[in-house]
């Protein structure tokens, strides 16, 4: 028998000897609370119930931990992703062996691809199956049997662990040794912050109640992003030299530029970068995935640079710059306009990466890489040392052509072209704007956002249907950490209640629609726009515009909230809009505070089947094989 007893009730562990011993389940949740996570998503299952019980432990509840049950596990993963994207803390989901964890897999892969911090905890079969106390060919439910004759071959209890390990997980632990379990948990949590990628904990069903030594909680009372970042040892002297050199390059330049990329957000550098921009007034750009990191209402913000797929003015502006400070770079097809980034060959480029700095001379094409230089530290030092009086900025102002306000007569159909000019008016500083993969998303790139709007979109992995459950996670993050995304509260109207706005296409919505019920269940305010264009318009733009494979069923979208938990329409209101006149009126109503005082406001907007934004064209061409 294991020397570690089972905590039957609170009293039995009150002895002196066991003072720092708590059940493993309690340790997991207290550790999560200490790292900033308050909401746990997931679905109960046979092998995680003992673990879930610890959420109701008063000491755990006191730390703010709460359970949010989702309709299925993929939605839980998407919600955890949204929670992390909004809070910049770890999004956590709990599933059960096999049936649960595998259902969530695509959500974890998406987080891995887009550097989102998720902890996926899986309740696995009890320890007796690993410790040989049960005949070794025992095939437990939810576990795939061995590929050979499963009547005589033992199943592999780590089969699912081996699928994800190192492929879509930066760190994982199968907690089959209680003596090291707490250390392993702490390591996985640190690794998730350090790498900004998902990690896994596999918890045997009978271990949640077993006692562990909770000493680690005293040694490291918290494990936050800040703790992990500041725990990295840095050569301050070298960092200072480096910052001086970067500043010299900037002072030497007459047209410097800053490009904010997605890792600035993931490593919490948003406010530092905004400060640097405000101090220096240099021109600044965002990458496609870095959109909304910088204050787009700032006149020095020149737009989103997406290589040759950017707006013409953005390309002209960036080509005119002779020094570029490019921070938090992720290079992929979508974030670089299909690898079409191009700077002038007289410009000098400094790339700040999480763990190194690159100096690129575009003239010679030579790159000098300095490792062991962490971008959070370097950026901070640059910001601290910068002397704006040494800058001599001489930008060539280009005439920015104002977008044409095209709306036609009020009975005209709503088009993407109409939305491109009119939808942005809905957005206010302080709002959180979640957009699903789809035709509409491509136009958003060129919106000019208000100063403190947080934009959340899966722009590289592109899994349709992700945004609705993601928005649930965002909304719960907004409940746990209200206004955490607001950098300069002065720019948000007084007493303004930040809104959560979600846009998605009808095909995407059908993928994960059941999760809409959770907004009603957990009182998460939402303004939801569903673009009803009769199917998969992105795919139609690529191939088969009239093929049945791009069709979907026509639904009564405005009736759906009634069915999903609001039969008397006490908490929700739904609208259907098909003309620009109706749309203009609706945007005006929605722009004013939520006077209807409804939790969820759903708007179905009828769009043309083959209507899509200009910006989708290059993507569509690239995808034609």
Binding site per annotation, positions for pyruvate:
46, 142, 193, 539
Instruction: Classify residue 66 by its DSSP letter.
Output: E
**Candidate list 484, 551, 584, 609; residue touching a second copy; CB under 8 A:** 551
The torsion defined by the Cα of 58, 60, 65 and 69, in degrees rounded to 10, comes to: -70
The torsion defined by the Cα of 507, 510, 512 and 517, in degrees rounded to 10, comes to: 130
Using the minimum distance from each CB to a second copy, give the nearer residue, 68 or 502.
Answer: 68
CA–CA separation, 570 and 556 (whole Å) = 19
* Binding piece for a second copy, criterion CB under 8 A, among 29-37, 108-116, 303-311, 388-396: 108-116
- Give the 3-state secondary structure of residue 491: helix
CB of 560 to a second copy, least distance (A): 5
Residues belonging to the binding site are: 46, 142, 193, 506, 533, 535, 539
**Candidate list 52, 65, 360, 435; residue touching a second copy; CB under 8 A:** 52
Residue 149 structure tokens? 């004759």
Residue 550 structure tokens? 């791009």
Using the minimum distance from each CB to a second copy, give the nearer residue, 140 or 282.
Answer: 140
Using the minimum distance from each CB to a second copy, give the nearer residue, 451 or 550.
Answer: 550
**Candidate list 244, 559, 588, 614; residue touching a second copy; CB under 8 A:** 559
Would you say 526 and 497 are in contact if contact means Cβ atoms under 8 Å apart? no
Q: In Å, how far are 294, 323, 356 from 336, measured between CA atoms?
A: 18, 19, 20
Q: For the stretch 152-179, what's the b/e string if a residue is b when 16 or more beta carbons lie within 10 angstroms of its beta carbon?
A: eeebebeebbeebeeebbbbbbbbbebe
Q: In Å, how far are 35, 280, 476 from 465, measured between CA atoms?
A: 29, 41, 18
**Candidate list 33, 164, 214, 616; residue touching a second copy; CB under 8 A:** 164
Considering only residues 494 to 513 of the shown chain, the ones binding a second copy according to CB under 8 A are 510-513
* Burial status of residue 356 (CB atoms within 10 A of its CB: 0-12, 13-18, 19 or more): middle
Residues belonging to the binding site for Mg(2+) are: 506, 533, 535
**Candidate list 548, 570, 592, 597; residue touching a second copy; CB under 8 A:** 548
DSSP notation for 16-45: STTTTEEEHHHHHHHHHHHTT--EEEE---
Residues counted in the chain: 625
Q: In Å, how far are 167, 288, 411 from 332, measured between CA atoms?
A: 17, 11, 42
Site string for a second copy, 311-350 (x = CB under 8 A): ------------------xxxxxx----x-----------
**Candidate list 150, 316, 398, 406; residue touching a second copy; CB under 8 A:** 150
Half-sphere exposure of 459 (CA within 13 A, CB side): 29
By the rule CB under 8 A, 103 interacts with a second copy? yes
Considering only residues 195 to 224 of the shown chain, the ones binding a second copy according to CB under 8 A are 197, 205-206, 208
**Candidate list 13, 106, 344, 618; residue touching a second copy; CB under 8 A:** 106
**Candidate list 10, 167, 215, 390; residue touching a second copy; CB under 8 A:** 167
Using the minimum distance from each CB to a second copy, give the nearer residue, 433 or 557.
Answer: 557
Using the minimum distance from each CB to a second copy, give the nearer residue, 370 or 584.
Answer: 370
Residue 513 structure tokens? 């629609």
By the rule CB under 8 A, 532 interacts with a second copy? no
Would you say 307 and 282 are in contact if contact means Cβ atoms under 8 Å apart? no
Using the minimum distance from each CB to a second copy, give the nearer residue, 408 or 544.
Answer: 544
* Binding piece for a second copy, criterion CB under 8 A, among 138-146, 226-234, 413-421, 427-435: 138-146
**Candidate list 284, 292, 463, 532; residue touching a second copy; CB under 8 A:** 463
Listed residue (324, 317, 370) closest to 346, CA to CA: 324
* Binding piece for a second copy, criterion CB under 8 A, among 84-92, 227-235, 406-414, 558-566: 558-566
By the rule CB under 8 A, 401 interacts with a second copy? no
| Cβ count near 256 (within 10 Å) | 24
DSSP notation for 347-402: -EEEEE-SSEEEEEETTTTEEEEEET--HHHHHHHHHHH--GGG------PPPPPP
# residues near a second copy by CB under 8 A: 100
By the rule CB under 8 A, 573 interacts with a second copy? no
Considering only residues 178 to 197 of the shown chain, the ones binding a second copy according to CB under 8 A are 197
Type and span of the H or E element at 530:
strand 526-532
Q: What is the 3-state secondary structure (H, E, C) of 547-616?
A: CHHHCCCCCCHHHHHHHCCCCCCCCEEEEEECEHHHHHHHHHHHHCCCCCCCCEEEEEEECCCCCCCHHH
By the rule CB under 8 A, 56 interacts with a second copy? yes
* Binding piece for a second copy, criterion CB under 8 A, among 99-107, 268-276, 281-289, 570-578: 99-107
By the rule CB under 8 A, 162 interacts with a second copy? yes
By the rule CB under 8 A, 4 interacts with a second copy? no
Using the minimum distance from each CB to a second copy, give the nearer residue, 53 or 361.
Answer: 53
Site string for a second copy, 422-441 (x = CB under 8 A): --------------------
Considering only residues 57 to 96 of the shown chain, the ones binding a second copy according to CB under 8 A are 67, 69, 71-72, 74
CA–CA separation, 193 and 231 (whole Å) = 11
Query: Taking CA 335 as the corner, what is the angle to CA 332 and CA 338, rounded to the nearest 5 degrees?
Result: 65
CA–CA separation, 319 and 307 (whole Å) = 11
By the rule CB under 8 A, 353 interacts with a second copy? yes
CB of 147 to a second copy, least distance (A): 6
By the rule CB under 8 A, 562 interacts with a second copy? yes
Q: In Å, how far are 250, 402, 422 from 146, measured between CA atoms?
A: 61, 64, 57
**Candidate list 20, 62, 138, 254; residue touching a second copy; CB under 8 A:** 138
CB of 449 to a second copy, least distance (A): 23
* Binding piece for a second copy, criterion CB under 8 A, among 144-152, 417-425, 484-492, 582-590: 144-152
**Candidate list 10, 20, 49, 384; residue touching a second copy; CB under 8 A:** 49
Using the minimum distance from each CB to a second copy, give the nearer residue, 300 or 507.
Answer: 507
């Amino acid at each position: 028998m294991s020397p570690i007893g089972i905590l039957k009730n609170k009293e039995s562990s009150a002895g002196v000897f066991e003072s720092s011993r708590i059940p493993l389940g309690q340790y997991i949740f207290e550790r999560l609370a200490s790292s900033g996570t308050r909401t746990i998503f997931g679905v109960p299952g046979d092998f995680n119930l003992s673990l879930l019980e610890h959420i109701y432990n008063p000491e755990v509840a006191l730390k703010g931990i709460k359970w949010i049950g989702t309709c299925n596990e993929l939605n839980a993963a998407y919600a955890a992703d949204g929670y992390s994207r909004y809070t910049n803390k770890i999004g956590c989901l709990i599933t059960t062996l096999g049936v649960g964890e595998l259902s969530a897999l695509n959500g974890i892969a998406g987080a891995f691809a887009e550097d989102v911090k998720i902890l996926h905890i899986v309740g696995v079969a009890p320890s007796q199956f690993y410790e040989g106390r049960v005949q070794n060919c025992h095939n437990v439910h939810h576990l795939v049997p061995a590929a050979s004759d499963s009547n005589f071959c033992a199943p592999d209890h780590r089969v699912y662990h081996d699928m994800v390990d190192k492929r879509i997980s930066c760190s994982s632990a199968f907690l089959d040794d209680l003596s090291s379990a707490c250390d392993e948990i702490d390591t996985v949590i640190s690794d998730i912050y350090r790498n900004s990628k998902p990690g896994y904990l596999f918890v045997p069903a009978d271990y949640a109640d077993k006692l562990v030594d909770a000493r680690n909680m005293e040694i490291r009372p918290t494990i936050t992003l800040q703790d992990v970042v500041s725990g990295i040892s840095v050569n301050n002297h070298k960092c200072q030299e480096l910052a001086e050199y970067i500043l010299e390059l900037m002072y030497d330049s007459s047209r410097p530029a800053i490009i904010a990329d997605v890792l600035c957000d993931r490593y919490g550098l948003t406010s530092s970068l905004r400060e640097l921009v405000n101090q220096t007034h240099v021109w600044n750009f965002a990458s496609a995935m870095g959109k909304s990191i910088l204050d787009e209402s700032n006149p020095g913000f020149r737009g989103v640079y997406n290589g040759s797929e950017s707006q013409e003015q953005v390309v002209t502006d960036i080509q005119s710059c002779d020094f570029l400070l490019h921070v938090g770079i992720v290079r992929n097809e979508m974030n670089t306009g299909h690898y079409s980034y191009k700077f002038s060959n007289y410009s000098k480029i400094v790339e700040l990466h999480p763990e190194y700095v690159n100096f690129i001379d575009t003239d010679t094409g030579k790159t000098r890489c300095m490792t062991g230089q962490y971008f959070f530290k370097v950026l901070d030092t640059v910001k601290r040392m910068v002397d704006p009086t040494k800058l001599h900025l001489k930008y060539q102002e280009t005439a920015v052509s104002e977008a044409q306000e095209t709306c036609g007569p009020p009975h005209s159909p709503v088009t993407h072209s109409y939305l491109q000019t009119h939808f942005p008016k809905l957005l206010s500083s302080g709002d959180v704007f979640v957009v699903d993969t789809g035709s509409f998303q491509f136009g958003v790139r060129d919106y000019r956002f208000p100063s403190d709007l947080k934009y959340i979109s899966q722009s590289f992995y592109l899994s349709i249907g992700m945004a609705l459950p993601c928005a649930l996670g965002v909304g719960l993050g907004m409940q746990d950490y209200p206004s955490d995304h607001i950098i300069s509260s002065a720019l948000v109207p007084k007493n303004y209640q930040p809104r959560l706005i979600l846009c998605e296409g009808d095909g995407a919505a059908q993928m994960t629609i059941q999760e809409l019920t959770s907004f009603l269940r957990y009182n998460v305010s939402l303004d939801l726009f569903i673009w009803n264009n009769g199917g998969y318009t992105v795919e139609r733009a690529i191939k088969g515009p009239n093929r049945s494979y791009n069709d979907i069923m026509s639904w009564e979208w405005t009736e759906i909230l009634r069915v999903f938990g609001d039969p008397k329409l006490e908490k929700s209101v739904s609208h259907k809009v098909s003309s620009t006149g109706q749309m203009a009126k609706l945007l005006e109503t929605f722009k004013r505070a939520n006077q209807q005082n409804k939790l969820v406001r759903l708007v179905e907007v009828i769009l043309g089947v083959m209507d899509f934004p200009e910006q989708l064209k290059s993507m569509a061409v690239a995808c034609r094989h």
